[in-house]
Amino acid sequence: MSETLGNEEAAPLFDQAGEHFRDAAVVSLIQWGNVFIVKADRLLQALTKAGKPIKGKDLDAVMALYDATQKKIEEGLRIKPDSWEAVGSLAQLEWERAKAKLGYVLPVP
Helix axes 11-49, 56-79, angle to 10 degrees: 170
Q: How confident is the model at residue 47 (pLDDT cuts 50, 70, 90)?
A: very high
Q: How confident is the model at residue 58 (pLDDT cuts 50, 70, 90)?
A: very high
> Which position has the higher pLDDT, 15 or 49?
49
Alpha carbon 2 to chain centroid, angstroms: 38
Tell me the pTM.
0.85
Please determine, for residue 106, whether its predicted confidence score (pLDDT) is greater than 90: no
Task: Enumerate the domain spans of the chain.
Answer: 2-102
b/e per residue 71-109 (b: at least 16 CB within 10 A): ebbebbbeebeebebbeebbeebeebbebbeeeebeeee
User: Which amino acid belongs to residue 6?
Assistant: G
For 83, the 3-state DSSP assignment is coil
